[in-house]
Structure 1
Amino acid sequence: MALDPQAKALLDMVYRVGAPRFHEQDVHQARHSFEKLQFALRPEAPAVASVTDVPIPRAHVRDGVIMARLYRPLVAKPDAVLPLVFYFHGGGWCVGNIPSYDVLCRELANHSGCAVLSVDYCLAPEHPFPGAVDDALQAVTWSLANAVLLGIDAARFAFAGDSAGGTLSTVTALQLRNSGGPQAALQMLIYPCTDILSQRPSRRTYANGYFLDTESLAWFFEKYLPDTADWTDWRASPILAKRFDGLPPATFIIAGCDPLSDDCRAYAEVLREAGVAVTVHEFEGMVHGFFTLGKFFRQAAEAVELTGKALGTALAP
């Protein structure tokens, strides 16, 4: 698939100036570089009704709290009880944070008419697998149990996330299904990583020069999963789960020129085969990461609006 001209322009700029890639930096440099990119190329922040920081206690008090940020859409009345979207940010389980995703979560709240909870799960290598998985599930469990405090309807919730955050969305849905817990109305999966050890063609076709290089993928995987035995754990590679029936409907956003694109399609297919309702939207010529870069890509604005409306429809009364 040919690159979109705007995607090519971005890649030409990145590679021309010799910007260091993730695997060429230490983790602190990589986090700073990721944040700079998000701040430089994200749209202007839209107004919302309110923004509230929410400390969520971890399972053990000694482990402190998971910080989250709750956004209520501009149209929401102060006393309205809203459906909730849990948003898990991308960044290979190693980079990314609430400030980097502030604009996106504001947009999703306004487009969907729902509250959005952005979850600042713990990052590797300081907190390797399954730290992020545990935080994601704890954030969901606690929030639903404290729905009155948050002003949300515990019976109406959805998961959304990009890249590593999309993976956390799939895994959390699987965990809730396995435990007989409450079911989300939708899994909104933006180019998730579904198979760490994948050898599908897109991994080779887009291995180098398409933003998410093979070396950078390996850098993320090695930091998140220092024990290689965990690479085949379904909580890291959800396509390896034993069964996929009984899961919430799933909507995928796929970037056409993404090394993970075939893995996304493969996961969509196993869900379909298990009887799960699946919708796939592919943005031709886009690269991994485009979703949050709305100042640079018009397709990002289209994808964000599509995402917000899909969430709003799924969570309508």
Structure 2
Amino acid sequence: MGIRRTFEKYLVAGLVRLPESWLLKMSGGAPLTAEGKRLDTQLQFLLALAAKRPRIDQLPVDGARQLYRDMAYSFGGRARPMSRTEERRVAGPYGDIPVRLYVPNGLPQGPAPTLVWFHGGGFVIGDLESYDLPCRQLADQARCQVLSVEYRLAPEHPFPRPVDECLAVWRHVAANPADYNADPARIGVGGDSAGAHLSAVISQQARLAGEPLPRHQLLIYPVTDLTREWASHTTYAEGYLLTRDLMNYFMSKFLPEGTDVADVKVSPLQAADLSGLPPATLVIAGFDPLQDEGRAYGDALARAGVPVKVLNYNTLTHGLISLAGVVKAADGAMAEISAAVRAGLGA
């Protein structure tokens, strides 16, 4: 398995560097466009490769999780070296929670800016390994420590358990920064997709409880509102990695029957008051079904007086952070995202 995965990784990295005309020919012959936007050609080729794999929403949960790990490895770049990584555990409401601390090379001595990271995957897939490469890149380029959290997943642990666990980790780190060599004034939260949802919810819940707030929240194509169907859910329902069927697959496993989808822990956009929340970096992908609700959350934060930096990547899809090192446009996006995190944490 290891040899095959390594061969595939280097094969993909080589193929995406072929001339654009070749990549288009191998991925259907014509550029993919929608709403006046054109999909990045390298990414279009990777989508064609991904389409040859089984569909996550048609697999048993264990198979879906393994496929996600394999794709994250095959379609991701090389691992950036760290000064050190540490495997730890944090006591949580349902048992210990594995976390991994990434410390990049060259950080100044003393308490360091730290990003508590919650991975994506629809609350059903994703783990420390499938997000190892993006966490290393964020740590290196944002010049901060990254603490990656492996919260429990649905359907074994449905809502509200993932939310409860991530809140527990945030509270633990905020109360014990010295245990992580973290500067208490420079600790942020961040994640992509489901992880961005968790970051938004944690920021809201900490404010409601009068607890220490994150310095900054990094919200990469977040899930913010399950109370309605957004136009982008339909326009980008199929063909761009995250599909409407896949979103339904995730939510069917994450939300127990009868869950109130207007609960702010499910739909943070439904919060009555967003004032006083931490400054945010909001990332939008142009070929992503979640883009409308992401923009709506950014607009709502701005109306509430929260400083928001919006980064739009109109040629890219959901999952762009896992493609850096292979897709050139994703490299540029990750560099900008990292710079925003560095500024947001005062790194």
TM-score bracket for the superposition, by shorter chain length: over 0.9
| Structure 1 residues 174-213: aligned runs within 5 Å | 174-213=204-243
Can you give the 5+ residue segments of structure 2 that lack an aligned partner in the other structure?
1-36
SS class of match (1:33):
helix
Can you give the 5+ residue segments of structure 1 that lack an aligned partner in the other structure?
none
Aligned-partner Cα distance in 2 for 1:294–1:228: 39
Structure 2 residue 120 is the aligned partner of structure 1 residue 90 = yes
Aligned-partner Cα distance in 2 for 1:250–1:177: 14
* 8 Å Cα contact 1:253-1:303 kept in structure 2: no
Amino acid aligned to 2:233 = R
* Larger relative contact order (Cα-Cα within 8 Å, sequence gap ≥ 6): 1
Equivalent of 1:29 in 55, 63, 67: 63
Alignment match, 1:44? 78
Alignment match, 1:162? 192
Aligned-partner Cα distance in 1 for 2:307–2:238: 33
Alignment match, 2:281? 251
Deviations along 1:24-61, whole A, 9 cap, x unmatched? 111111001100000111111111111111110114xx
Structure 2 residue 102 is the aligned partner of structure 1 residue 71 = yes
Amino acid aligned to 1:124 = A
Amino acid aligned to 1:74 = N
SS class of match (1:123):
coil
SS class of match (1:232):
coil
SS class of match (1:209):
coil
The structure having more radius of gyration, on CA atoms, is: 2
Amino acid aligned to 1:175 = Q
Amino acid aligned to 2:70 = K
Alignment match, 1:301? 331
Identity within the alignment, %:
38
Amino acid aligned to 1:82 = A
Give the root-mean-square deviation of aligned CA atoms. 1.4
* 8 Å Cα contact 1:31-1:96 kept in structure 2: yes
SS class of match (1:70):
strand
Aligned-partner Cα distance in 1 for 2:50–2:96: 36
SS class of match (2:38):
coil
Deviations along 1:114-156, whole A, 9 cap, x unmatched? 1110011110000000111011110011112221221111221
- Once the two structures are TM-superposed, the CA of residue 293 in structure 1 deviates from its matched residue by 1.3
* 8 Å Cα contact 1:161-1:190 kept in structure 2: yes
- Once the two structures are TM-superposed, the CA of residue 206 in structure 1 deviates from its matched residue by 0.5
Aligned-partner Cα distance in 2 for 1:185–1:81: 15
Aligned-partner Cα distance in 1 for 2:240–2:135: 26
Aligned-partner Cα distance in 2 for 1:65–1:94: 18
Aligned-partner Cα distance in 1 for 2:327–2:162: 29
- Once the two structures are TM-superposed, the CA of residue 110 in structure 1 deviates from its matched residue by 1.4
Structure 2 residue 156 is the aligned partner of structure 1 residue 126 = yes
Equivalent of 1:9 in 24, 38, 45: 45
Structure-1-length-normalised TM-score? 0.94
Alignment match, 1:109? 139
- Once the two structures are TM-superposed, the CA of residue 167 in structure 1 deviates from its matched residue by 0.3
Structure-2-length-normalised TM-score? 0.86
